[in-house]
Structure 1
Amino acid sequence: MANHRLMTLIWIFTEKFGLIFLSMITFIAFARLMSPAELGMGTVIIAIVEVVAILYSSMLEDPLVRLEHLEEKHICTAFWFAVLISLGSIVVISFAVMLYTTSLMIQWMTAAASVKILFTMMSRVYVVEMRRTSNFKMLASRTLLGKVAGGVGGIAIALWGFGPWALIAQVLIMEFVSVVVLMLGNRRRIAFYIDGPFLRELLRAGAPVAINVMSWHMLQRGVNVVLGITAGTHAVGMFNIAMRIIDLPRTAIYNGLMSYALPVFARRGTDTPRLIGLISDSTAISGFLLTPLFVGIALTAEDIILLIFGAKWAEAIPLLQVLACTAAIGNTAMYATTALVAVNRTHLTVKAEVATTLLALALVYSLGHRYAGMAAALALLARMVIITPLQMRGLNTAIGYGWRPVFESNYRSVIATLIMAAVVVFVSSHLGLRGYLHLACSIGIGTLTYALAYSALHPRWPQEFKLVFTAR
């Protein structure tokens, strides 16, 4: 059993860290080949399309994963509903953009990008089955193959000088290859059949999940859209470069952890003490890795931007520092939403998620014209500071996960990270080094300091972390 868990996690993170590596290559290439305005235009168009895709997929996927028995009629219903609603959305989006703008290029780019919704939704039932059976090897294969194909295609189009079309091509190729790999790996005939009562039940169960997920992704994508309206595509490009540096590791690691955590939490949903212990252990391990990672990005932001992306992106340095600190704060409650999904109590945080998202978007709208990308970064920070305790309160209401386990799971990583930050700031200013050597020394000093500080606070951490994969 322990070996099975470890192999499952290995395949999950093979996918996620492979995704980071491939995304970083394409990301750097796009940053070098496109201007901030071109990057911003492509980002805004993709953001609009992805909001729709995420709404539909979150409404279907997690409720299907949580079902005790997944029957053939359930698969048929979900698949064909996904296809039909995707086709309808493509038509609506295409007509809406024609009414919004007279630019033929934007109209064609948006219409082409909206096809991503169809490819994304066609793959949902296959992803559900593989998550339920822990076939993360196939999930990793389809994601990595899709990313390679999309990256090659996108970079080629960028090299030919088509600007924002490169971003559109990348996501379309990636999603198309992914769904083809899944269909070839699980050859089956999905009959055209929709079970009305089951579909209504599925949508009813998925609505709170979708609202929570939509709130977060609406925030991520909506910020780009609102910032583009108030501050222009240059500001979106600067904000997006900083956001992508944070999102590459965060999305890959978080999605990997949540893909594993949801079915594990759901199986223990009726055993509350065991579930609380599992959440605490998972939070401690995740905080041990992620809190110093994001604070480290904030400390080395100047080197990262200037050395890797070039001086034309220097405006993104303070944005990256704020966003990195925001991500570090979010680690303290990173499993709250997943745990609420597992025990079917997501409604407890729906109002808080929606209200804080609207607040953040309102801040971007009101301050974007004055502070450009910094308005978006500070809006996300304010939202994180407000929503984190509200998520923990919802989890406390649902399963009795109080503030004591929150503190016990996080205090060691937070203290060790603060010590690391103080040492790096002090030592790096006296090194007299520049360029990649300065970046490498800062990373080395930070890693060593954090390891020593955490070990002093928790000498038995290797043995206790190992027990998470064997005892629980």
Structure 2
Amino acid sequence: MANHRLVTLSWIFTEKFGLIFLSMITFVVYARLLSPAELGVGTVIIAIVELVGLLYSSVLEDPLVRLEHLEDKHISTAFWAAVLVSLASVVLISLATVLYTPSTVLRWMMAVASVKILFTMMARIYVAQMRRSSNFKMLAKRTLLGKILGGVCGIAVALWGLGAWAVIAQALIMEFVAILVLMYADRRPIAFYIDGPVLLELLKAGAPVAINALSSQTLQRGVTVVLGMTAGANAVGMFNMAMRIIDLPRSAIYNGLMSYALPVFARRSAEPSRLLGIIGDSTAVSGFLLTPLFIGIALTADDLILLIFGAKWAEAIPMLQVLACTAAIGNTAMYATTALVAVNRSHLTIKAEVATTMLALALVYGFGNLYGGMAGALGLLARMLIITPLQIRGLNTAIGYGWRRFLGSNYRSVIASLIMAATVLFVSPRLGFEGYQHLICTIVVGALSYAAAYSVLHPRWPQEFKTVFTAR
């Protein structure tokens, strides 16, 4: 059982860390070949399309994973409903773009990019089945192959000088290849059949999940759109640069952990004590790795951007620092939404999710003209500071995961990260190195100081963390 768990996790993180590596390559190329405005236009278009696809995906995928018995009627209903809604969305988005902008280029970009919704939704059924059966090996293969081919096509388009089309081409090709791989792996025919009661059941179960996911993702993608409206494409490009540096590791790691966590939490939903234990242990392990990672990004933001991406992106440095601190705060309650979905109590935080998202977007809209991309970073930080305690309150109501457990799971990684930050801020200016040597030495100093501080706070952490993957 423990070996199976470790193999499953290894495939999850092969996929996710492979994505980080491949995404970093393409992102560095785009930063060199595209202007901030071109990157901003492509980012806004993909953000709009992904926001629509995310809403539909959340309604269907997680409820299918949670079903005790997944039958053919669930599969056919979800698949064909997704296809029909996706096709309708492509038409509506294309028509809306015609009304919104007179630019023929933007109209074509939006129409082509919206096809991504169809490919994304077709994949949901296959992804849900493979998550249920823990077939993360195939999920990893489809994502990595899609990313490789999408990245190659995107870089080729950028080299041809087609600007924002590179971002659109990468996203579209990646999703298309991924669905082809999934359909080849599972070649069972899906009957053209939509069962009304089954569809209503899925929609009812998925609506709270979709609202929570939409709220969270509306914030990130909505910030991009609102910045484009108030601050212009250059500000969007700068903000996206900072956001991408954070999202590359965060999305890869978070998505991998959540893919594994939901079925694990759901299987323990009838055993509150075991569920509380695994949430606490998972939070402690994740915080041990992720909190210093994001604090470290904030500490090395100058070197990371200036050395890797160039001086033209210097404006993104303070945004990156704010976003990195925001991500570090988010680590402390990263499993809250997944745990609430697992026990079917996600409605407890819907109002908080929606209200804080609207507040953050209002802040971005109000201050976008004045602060540019920094308004987006500050909006995300404000929202994180408000929503985190509300998520803990929801968890406490649902399963009894209160502040004592929250603090017990997080205090070591937070204290050790603060000690690391103080050490780096003191030592870094005195290192006497420049360029990549300075960056590497800063990372080494940070890693050693964090490891020492954490080991003092928790001497038996290797043995206890090992039990997370073997005992429970």
Instruction: Normalising by structure 1, report the TM-score.
Output: 1.00
* Residue of structure 2 equivalent to 1:259: 259
Q: Which amino acid aligns with 1:409?
A: S
Partner of 1:109: 109
- Give the aligned partner of residue 61 of structure 1: 61
Q: Which residue does the alignment assign to 1:93?
A: 93
Query: In structure 2, the residue corresponding to 1:50 is in which secondary structure?
Result: helix
Aligned to 2:341: 341
Aligned position for 1:153:
153
> Could you tell me which residue of structure 1 aligns to residue 458 of structure 2?
458
| SS of residue in 2 equivalent to 1:333 | coil
SS state at 1:123 partner:
helix
**Which residue identity does 1:424 align to in structure 2?**
V
Cα deviation, residue 233, structure 1: 0.2
Aligned: 1:130 with 2:130: yes
Offset from partner CA, 1:137-174 (integer Å, 9 cap, x none): 00000000000000000000000000000011001100
Residues paired across the two proteins, number: 472
CA shift, 1:447, in A, is: 0.4
Deviation at 1:266, TM superposition (A): 0.1
What's 1:281 paired with? 281
Distance 2:76 2:402 in 1: 41
Matches of 2:453 and 2:309, distance apart in 1: 32
Deviations 1:402-421 (A, max 9, x none): 10010010000001000000
Matched residue SS, 2:431 = coil
Q: Hey, what's the Cα distance between the residues in 2 that align with 1:445 and 1:147? A: 34
Which structure 2 segments of 5+ residues have no match? Answer: none
Cα distance in 2 between the residues matched to 1:120 and 1:282: 29
**Aligned residue for 2:303?**
303
Paired position in structure 1 for 2:219: 219
* Structure 1 residues 35-56: Cα deviation after superposition (integer angstroms, max 9, x where no partner): 0000000000111111100000
The match for 1:250 is: 250
Aligned equivalents of 1:471 and 1:371: distance in 2?
Answer: 50
Instruction: Work out whether 1:361 is the aligned partner of 2:358.
Output: no
SS at match of 1:307: helix
Q: Distance in 2 between matches of 1:12 and 1:233?
A: 35
Separation in structure 2 between the aligned mates of residue 433 and residue 424 of structure 1, nearest angstrom = 14
Residue 468, structure 1, aligned to residue 468, structure 2:
yes
**How far apart are residue 252 of structure 1 and its match?**
0.2
Q: Distance in 1 between matches of 2:431 and 2:12?
A: 39
How far the C-alpha of 1:384 sits from its partner, in A, is 0.1
Q: Secondary structure at the match of 1:211?
A: helix
- State yes or no: 1:175 paired with 2:171: no
Q: Deviations over 1:8-55 (max 9, x none)?
A: 000000000000000000000001000000000000011111110000
Q: Is 1:208 matched up with 2:208?
A: yes
1:79 matches 2:79: yes
1:272 corresponds in structure 2 to 272
Q: Which amino acid counterpart does residue 426 of structure 2 have in structure 1? A: F
**1:312 is matched by which residue type in structure 2?**
K
Shift of 1:432: 1.8
TM-score by length of 2: 1.00
Q: Which residue of 2 aligns with 1:444?
A: 444
Q: Cα distance, 1:433 vs. partner?
A: 1.1
| Pairwise CA distance, 1:469 | 1.0
Shift of 1:197: 0.3
CA distance in 1, matches of 2:192, 2:199: 14
> What secondary structure sits across from 2:269 in the alignment?
coil
Does residue 379 (structure 1) correspond to residue 379 (structure 2)? The answer is yes
Give the Cα–Cα distance (whole angstroms) in 2 for the partners of residues 134 and 36 of structure 1: 40
How far, CA to CA, are the matches of 1:302 and 1:404 in structure 2? Answer: 37
Q: State the Cα distance separating 1:431 from its structure 2 match.
A: 1.0
Letter in 1 for 2:363: L
Deviations 1:64-85 (A, max 9, x none): 0000000011100000000000
Whole-angstrom CA distance in 2 between matches of 1:434 and 1:454: 29
CA deviation string 1:203-228 (max 9, x = no partner)? 01100000000001111100000000
Tell me, yes or no, if structure 1 residue 409 matches structure 2 residue 409.
yes
Whole-Å Cα distance in 2 between the matches of residues 292 and 258 of structure 1? 20
Give the secondary structure class of the aligned counterpart of 2:332: helix
1:389 aligned partner = 389
Q: 2:402 and 2:152 mapped to 1: Cα distance?
A: 48
Q: Give aligned-pair identity as a percent.
A: 77
Measure, in 2, the Cα distance between the counterparts of 1:80 and 1:215: 26
Q: Give distance in 1, aligned partners of 2:162 and 2:294.
A: 34
- Aligned CA RMSD, in angstroms, stands at 0.4
Q: Does 1:186 align with 2:186?
A: yes
CA distance in structure 2 between the partners assigned to 1:455 and 1:140 by the alignment: 33
Q: Offset of 1:201 from its aligned partner?
A: 0.8
Q: Which amino acid aligns with 2:258?
A: M
Unaligned runs of 5+ in 1: none
Query: 1:38 & 1:416 partners in 2: Cα distance?
Result: 40
Q: Which residue of 1 aligns with 2:234?
A: 234
Question: What amino acid does structure 2 have at the position aligned with 1:354?
Answer: V
SS of 1:432 mapped into structure 2:
coil
Q: Give distance in 1, aligned partners of 2:469 and 2:363.
A: 42
Q: Deviations over 1:89-128 (max 9, x none)?
A: 0000000000000000000000000000000000110001
Give CA-to-partner distance per residue, 1:386-444, whole Å, 9 cap, x none: 00000000000000111001001000000100000000110011112110000000000
The equivalent residue for 2:13 is 13
Q: CA deviation at 1:308?
A: 0.3
Query: Which residue does 2:314 correspond to in 1?
Result: 314
One-letter amino acid of the counterpart of residue 182, structure 2: L
1:330 corresponds to which residue?
A: 330
- 1:430 counterpart residue number: 430
Q: SS state of the match for residue 429, structure 1?
A: helix
Deviations 1:290-349 (A, max 9, x none): 000000000000000000000000000000000000000001100000000000000000
Alignment partner, residue 293 of structure 1: 293
SS of residue in 1 equivalent to 2:470 = coil
- C-alpha separation in 2, matches of 1:23 and 1:177: 16
Q: Distance in 2 between matches of 1:47 and 1:329?
A: 24
CA offsets, 1:213-254, max 9 Å, x none?
000111110000000000000000000000000000000000
Distance 1:113 1:169 in 2: 8
SS of equivalent to 1:102: coil
Cα deviation for residue 188 of structure 1 reads 1.2
Q: Which amino acid aligns with 2:20?
A: I
